[in-house]
Structure 1
Amino acid sequence: MSIAMTMRCLRVAAICAGSAVTIGACAHPPETPEARAEYDQANDPAEPTNRVIFRGNKFVDDNALQPVARAYQEHLPNRAQKTVHNFASNLDQPAVALNDVLQGNFGRSWNTIQRFVINTTAGGLGLFDVATDWDRPGHRADFGQTLGVWGVGPGPSVQLPLFGPSNVRDSIGTVVDLVGNPTNFIPGGVFVAVGVAAEAAGMVDGRARTLGVTDSLEKESLDYYAVMRSAAAQRREALVDEGKAAK
C-alpha cells in the first residue's frame, strides 16, 4: 500500500471512529428541561465526548501543528507562502469540479476545470494563480456541501480526531472526498509523492492562515470549545448557502 493511500486510510479511520463515538454517545440526552433546551440548541448531544476529543486535538495542535505553522508564517516570505497555497489549492480543483457537477452547478464546474488547466500549464504546475488574473476566480466545494445543497441537514455536532469540529453530514462528506478524489486514481509514483507533499504543505499553510483568528478567539472566549463549534457550524452553513445560490 502506498504512503498516500495509507495516510488516507488513517484519516478515514479517524473520521469514522469520531463519528461512531459521537453517534453512540447520542443515546442519553439530559433529562432536566434546562439542560435539554441547551442540548437541543447546540445540537451537540455528545458534548462530553466531543470535549474530550477537542482537548486531544488541541494538544496536537498546540505542540505539533501550531509551532510548524508559526515558523512557516514567520520565516517563509509571503510570496513563497502564496506559491505553496496556490500549488496545494490547484491539486484540489478536480474534486471541486466534481462536486460542482454533483450540485448541478455546471457553470462553476467549467470555470474550475479551466482554472485547473490554466494554472497547471501557464501557472507552472499550479505555483501561480494565473486563472484568477484571467477572470476565473476560485471557490470551494466538497461533498458535505453537496449533500447540504440537496437538502441534507447537518445533524449533530461531531468532533473529529485530528480534523476538529464538524457534524455528521460533513463527516460523511469528508470520507467521500478522501476516497473519491479524482486525483487518487492517477497512476504514478511521482504524482503520489507530489500529492502527499501538497497535502502536508496545504495543512501547514491552512493552519498558518487561521492563526490570527484562533489566537484571538482562544484569548477572548470564555468557552473556546463552544466558540469553535459555533464558528465551524456558521462557516459550513455559509458554504452550503453559497452552493445553493450558485444553482
Structure 2
Amino acid sequence: MLISGSLRRLLSAAICAGSAFTFTACAHPPAGTEARAEYEQKNDPAEPTNRVIFQGNKYVDDNAIQPVARAYQEHMPSRVKKSVHNFTSNLGEPTVALNDVLQGNFSRSWNTIQRFVINTTVGGAGLFDVATDWDRPGHSADFGQTLGVWGIGPGPSVQLPLLGPSNVRDTVGKVVDIVANPVGLIPGGTIATVDTAAKAAGVVDGRARALRATDSLERDYLDYYAASRSAVAQRRAALVAEGKAGEVGRNKEAAQTAPVPVPAVD
C-alpha cells in the first residue's frame, strides 16, 4: 500500500509491545486460516479483568444508555431517526475519506468526498442521504481498519470502559481517529459544539440500531461476554477484509450495526 515494509514492522512491533506491557505477552497466532480466525476471536489473556469491565459496561448500558435507546427506537418517528443517522454519519465522512486514502483506496476516498459534498449541500447539512440515491453508496472506514489493511493483527482482546469490546489494534485506531478527526481541526466553537452533539446523538442512534443484535446475543448464548467478544472480532475482521478489497459499494447500514453492549461512535 502506501506504507513501507519497515514502517509496517515498526507499527506492528509498537502495538505488540503495548500488548506485552498490558497483557504479559504478544503470542504468535496459528498459521492456518481457520485456526488463526478462532485464535484472534479468543485471544483474551486479560479475560478476568475484561469481564469485570464488561459487567460495569453492561450495568451502565442496562440502566442508562439502553433505556434511552429503546425509547428513541420505539417513540421517535422513523423519518427523524433516519435524519439523525444521516447527519451523524455525514460528519464522520471526512474521517472515512482520510482512512480510505491511507489504505490506498483512492476510488473509495473520492466516492466518500463526493458523498460528503452532496449530502452537506443538497442533502441539507447531511440530514438527507441524497448521495446514495445518486449511486454513491456509503461505507465505513477507521484507523483500526487501516492498521489491519497494512497487515497488523488485532492483538489481544480489550474491554474499553463505556465503549465495549475491542482489541489492542483498534484501541490504537480509536485514539488516532479522535486526534486526527478532520472536523475537529476546523476552528470555531460552533463546529465543536455541533460535533459534540452529533457524537451524543450517534451513541443513542448506534445503540438503538444494535438492540436487535445485542438482545439476540444475550438471549441465545449462555456466555454473553464471550458471544459479544466473538461477534465484534468477526465484524472487525470482515471490515479489514473489505478494506483490503477496496471496492466501492459496501452497504454502510450493515457495517454500522455492531453487536456490542455499549457501542462506540463510528
Cα distance in 2 for partners of 1:107, 1:161 equals: 36
> Per the alignment, do residues 66 and 41 of structure 1 end up closer, same or farther by CA in structure 2, a change over 3 Å counting?
closer
Count of residue correspondences: 221
Contact conserved, 1:39 with 1:45, CA < 8 A, in 2? no
Q: Which residue of 2 aligns with 1:69?
A: 69
Partner of 1:151, secondary structure, is coil
Q: Which has the higher helix share?
A: 1
Contact conserved, 1:23 with 1:46, CA < 8 A, in 2? no
Mapping of residues 122-201 of structure 1, within 5 Å: 122-201=122-201
Contact conserved, 2:132 with 2:138, CA < 8 A, in 1? yes
- Deviating runs (4+, > 6 A) in structure 1? 38-41
Q: How far did residue 23 of structure 1 move? A: 4.8
Q: How far did residue 26 of structure 1 move? A: 3.1
Contact conserved, 1:25 with 1:49, CA < 8 A, in 2? no
Cα distance in 1 for partners of 2:101, 2:233 equals: 24
Q: Which residue of 2 aligns with 1:11?
A: none
Please give the root-mean-square deviation of Cα atoms over the aligned residues, in Å: 2.1
Cα distance in 1 for partners of 2:108, 2:183 equals: 19
Q: Which residue of 2 aligns with 1:17?
A: none
Q: Which residue of 2 aligns with 1:4?
A: none
Mapping of residues 1-247 of structure 1, within 5 Å: 23-26=21-24, 42-246=42-246
Amino acid at match of 1:109: S
| 1:14-43 CA-partner distances (Å, limit 9, x unpaired) | xxxxxx79953436x9xxxxxxxx988711
Cα distance in 2 for partners of 1:152, 1:45 equals: 19
> Per the alignment, do residues 189 and 223 of structure 1 end up closer, same or farther by CA in structure 2, a change over 3 Å counting?
same
Percent identity of equivalent pairs: 74
> Per the alignment, do residues 39 and 109 of structure 1 end up closer, same or farther by CA in structure 2, a change over 3 Å counting?
closer
Cα distance in 1 for partners of 2:109, 2:195 equals: 22
Q: How far did residue 245 of structure 1 move? A: 0.6
Amino acid at match of 1:24: T
Cα distance in 2 for partners of 1:22, 1:58 equals: 27
Amino acid at match of 1:59: Y
Could you state the TM-score of these two structures normalised by the residue count of structure 1?
0.85
Structure 2: which 5+ runs fail to align? 1-17, 28-37, 248-266
Amino acid at match of 1:187: P
Partner of 1:233, secondary structure, is helix
Cα distance in 2 for partners of 1:143, 1:45 equals: 24
